[in-house]
Amino acid sequence: MAGPLLETKLHVPGPRSALVARPRLISRLGQADEQTLILISAPAGFGKTTVLAEWLADSPATGRSHAWLSLDQRDNDPVLFWTYLVAALDKASPGIGARALAALRSTQSSTEDFLTTLINELQGGQDRFTLVLDDYHVIDNQGVQEALAFLVENLPAQLQLVIASRADPALPLPRLRARGRLLEIRAADLRFTLEEAGTYFNAVMGLGLTAQDIAALEGRAEGWIAALQLAALSMQGRGDVAGFIAGFAGDDRYVVDYLAEEVLQRQPDDVRNFLLQTSILNRLNGQLCDAVTGQNTGKAMLEALDRGNLFAVPLDDRRWWYRYHHLFADVLRARLMDEQPGRIHELHERASLWHEQNGDIPEAIRHAMAAQDFERAADLIELAIPALRKDRQEATLSRWLEALPGELIHARPGLGVAYAGALLASGELTGVDARLEEAEHWVGTTAEGRDGGNLTSSIAIYRAAQALASGDTTGAMTHAATALGLVGKDDHLGRGAASGLLAIGHWTNGELEVAHRLWSDSYSNLERAGHHSDMLGCSIALADIRITQGRLRDAMAIYQRGLELAGRHPAQTLRGTADMHIGMSMLLLERGELDAAREHLLANQRLGEDAALPQNPYRSRVAMARVLQAEGDVDGALEQLDEAERLYVGDFFPAVRPVPAVRARIWISHGRTSDALRWAREHGISAEDELSYLHEFEHITLARALLAQDRAEPSEDPAGHVAALIDRLLRAAEEGGRTGTVVELLALLALAYQKEADDGGALAALRRAVALAEPEGYVSVFVDEGEAMATLLNALVKRGRASDYVGRLLELFGTETRSTPARQRLIEPLSDRELHVLRLLSSELGGPEIARELLVSLNTLRTHTKNIYAKLGANSRRAAVRRAEELELLPRKDHHINHQVW
């Protein structure tokens, strides 16, 4: 945070000494255990906070822990609001919300991601909570309101939410009311009854009023508790009580002003001055009051006000922090403005200095703004910027900067650049250019600017991000390269950002090796900076590049390294952990290990969105579509792609495999060639296009569609024009070092030559493809092509130029060859040691017995077992044994495997 959390905001107010018991309300609240939302909505002064505090203090044990959050204007910053909310829950049950808070602070998260994580954490725990949000009417930020509505709509049974507000919140109250999930307590319920008013005036305040006097006061105040309280204070020590009661009249605001004036006039001068001067404070303690008033009586004065029930509300058990009743504070501030207008700025300046010295920079800034000491406010904001960035409080930063005079930001280019960064982080481009231009002008025209290396590098980084957001890859690369040359060696975040932005540009242009080097540099700098979640985002880019380069084993190692990194941080679920499983799933699918691929997608789902990057929802659905297609569920695959397209969230990564092109490939593989060709026309993809890496996947998809069309409707130039397109693509991929693409194109070229009856050309292309594919374990690139590819592979075998790898491919087509033993029908065969372990797994022995038999530790046995499961595409001991029997690696028999947990 830009400052420490205020513990007083999380404190359940203690019961007041001058309290009227309200059993009718406490009973209603106590019977609301089945309602997920309790709303207490009434104007100021109706005792909303008091009755909630009484309920929580006196309610019988319901199995729910109590959490409390007092809100103020600062909490309109979404990150601050949700950070405090999680802190309130954590105070009730230490550790709850830790993963959600990590998601909130991630630079790649969304509010919905955070809320989903929080809901899942609550749902998966045993604790039950009642969470009170007091003074919710101060929240007017639409983002916070919409997010809270999402939370309310999806509240788990473990959480009961209580909202106290002067106005109805922007929540789906009619729907909750219709479902019986809402308890409402309103002004009519909160008003003092005649009996409660009598208890207050006589039993609590000791005024000895008659029943007629009480009825008169209650009738004129209409049960409004604040008015009755002010009336009671005004009557203390007064001789003419009847005259006062007779003159007690007027509407709410008028009554408050009148009674507050009555109370203030009856206070000694020192108390009155103390009340007025400290009214500028949202929260008070003795030291702060002394700093503001210039006296040394703050602690004693606050204790006296508390004892006298003079609207000083204690905020902690030690009675260290207090606040004034909101209505009373409003009146005090108005009176201060009338009586001492010349002192207001001075009081705020003193408060700002105290808060700065005590580490509360946000409050220091607020008071500096109120004092109109904008230079000081600007100094404080500059100090707060790093913490604000780290905790993603861009909304707070923007709000502060908007409140500063424009000429001050113009004179402080660091603030202007920070403003531009806050706008970019929130997806807002308007105003970014102007802020950056001002900073650039300052750099170019002043001596200080010419020495401002950090500023110029920041400008360049934001220029690069702005260019990428606008689709200007060339401009982005220019600015990123400039930033990389300017950023300090010890600024690891800056170097990581500049390297990543430059890598994206080279990646988009198809310069993969350069992009990979830059991404590796970004990864290393992020590691030094401790930004582990961002390292997983880098891992996706690094692995994707290696896949395109045909280095599948390297890509798998990158994903495995990502999971190892996540495993080193068990206290929090790193965002991006789930995405590692998606990447591994796609690699396993390419290797023909369908069951293992599906298991990793299930692992992704089990981790949930709290462990996922923003792009995970669409990426996971694309992956699942490919798994469903491999399983023959075409309709299911297409449904997944439709959902993926709807959920698409772009990042700056090049969209080299767009969802519509993936859909077109599924159409092609299932005979809907006309639909695929229509897709190409609608997206302007043709065989005569100038080729680029960015659209390579789409042009290969077009080649597939044209080849399928030639098979279905032979033309006078059978497949010749397709072969020409493939040949062009092949040369481009070879020049770009995109070996993974080369393997696919050579397989397609073999099929095109086969259609032309050019067996020599077909087999030559296929041999090249096999030679490149075998070391990396490719399977789907051949097997998915069906019978035509099987015919070509068989031709290779007959000519005596096929390896065992080709034989294993043919077995996956269902075509056995003499060169491939039945027990080796795996792309990656089991080693002799693994076969020995597998035989023991099929026995009655438990894990410890097998380890002793092998003379290894349990950890080593687990490693062998994990490898066996991966090669067999199994996820359990029983499944591995059954799969081994199917492959004739084990004799079939009845099994009663000991499922002892290892």
Q: Is residue 395 part of a domain?
A: no
Residues paired with 68 in a beta bridge: 132
Distance CA 113, CA 533 (A): 14
Distance CA 534, CA 574 (A): 9
Distance CA 468, CA 480 (A): 10
Assess whether 181 and 248 both reside in one domain: no
Pick the last residue of a domain from 141, 165, 190.
190
628-656 pLDDT, tens per residue? Answer: 898 888 888 998 999 999 888 767 789 99
Identify which has the larger pLDDT, 309 or 524: 524
Assess whether 243 and 299 both reside in one domain: no
- Percent pLDDT > 70 in the chain is 88
Assess whether 56 and 180 both reside in one domain: yes
| Mean local confidence (pLDDT), 660-684 | 95
Query: Is residue 544 predicted with pLDDT exceeding 60?
Result: yes
3-state class (DSSP) for residue 211:
helix
Confidence of residue 424 (pLDDT cuts 50, 70, 90): confident
Assess whether 231 and 184 both reside in one domain: no
CATH number of the domain bearing residue 869: 1.10.10.10
3-state class (DSSP) for residue 67:
strand
Q: Is residue 245 part of a domain?
A: yes
Q: Is residue 288 part of a domain?
A: yes
Distance CA 626, CA 666 (A): 9
pLDDT of residue 784: 92
Residue 803 C-alpha from the chain's centroid: 49
Query: Is residue 334 predicted with pLDDT exceeding 60?
Result: yes
Query: Is residue 14 predicted with pLDDT exceeding 80?
Result: no
Identify which has the larger pLDDT, 144 or 899: 144
Identify which has the larger pLDDT, 632 or 779: 779
Query: Mean pLDDT of all residues in the chain?
Result: 85
Q: Which domain holds residue 210?
A: 196-265
Assess whether 277 and 174 both reside in one domain: no
Q: What is the DSSP string of 417-432?
A: HHHHHHHHHTT--TTH
Assess whether 203 and 186 both reside in one domain: no
| Mean local confidence (pLDDT), 446-472 | 77
Pick the last residue of a domain from 265, 298, 323.
265
Choose the weakest-confidence range: 285-294, 329-338, 418-427, 506-515: 418-427
Assess whether 31 and 173 both reside in one domain: yes
Assess whether 201 and 159 both reside in one domain: no
CATH number of the domain bearing residue 629: 1.25.40
840-878 pLDDT, tens per residue? Answer: 888 888 777 787 666 555 666 777 888 888 888 777 788
Residue with tokens 């109805």: 168
Residue from 102, 97, 74, 75 nearest 87 by CA: 97
Confidence of residue 519 (pLDDT cuts 50, 70, 90): very high
CATH number of the domain bearing residue 70: 3.40.50.300
**Any idea what DSSP says for residue 296?**
S
Assess whether 78 and 101 both reside in one domain: yes
58-81 pLDDT, tens per residue? Answer: 765 556 889 999 999 889 989 899
Query: Is residue 815 predicted with pLDDT exceeding 50?
Result: no
Count of domains in the chain?
5
Q: Is residue 896 part of a domain?
A: no
Assess whether 177 and 34 both reside in one domain: yes
Residue with tokens 């056995």: 816
Are residues 785 and 751 in contact, defined by beta-carbon separation less than 8 angstroms? Answer: yes
Q: What is the DSSP string of 310-337?
A: SSEEE-STTS--EEE-HHHHHHHHHHHH
Q: Cβ contacts of residue 510 below 8 Å, gap of 6+?
A: 692, 693, 694, 696, 736, 738
pLDDT of residue 817: 37
Distance CA 547, CA 770 (A): 16
Q: Is residue 619 part of a domain?
A: yes
Q: What is the DSSP string of 497-549?
A: HHHHHHHHHHHHTT-HHHHHHHHHHHHHHHHHHT-HHHHHHHHHHHHHHHHHT
pLDDT of residue 608: 78
DSSP H or E stretch at residue 15: none
Assess whether 316 and 373 both reside in one domain: yes
pLDDT of residue 241: 80
Residue with tokens 């009249």: 249
- Percent pLDDT > 90 in the chain is 39
Q: Is residue 127 part of a domain?
A: yes
Assess whether 250 and 336 both reside in one domain: no
pLDDT of residue 583: 96
CATH number of the domain bearing residue 379: 1.10.10
Query: Is residue 772 predicted with pLDDT exceeding 70?
Result: yes
Q: Is residue 629 part of a domain?
A: yes
Q: Is residue 514 part of a domain?
A: no
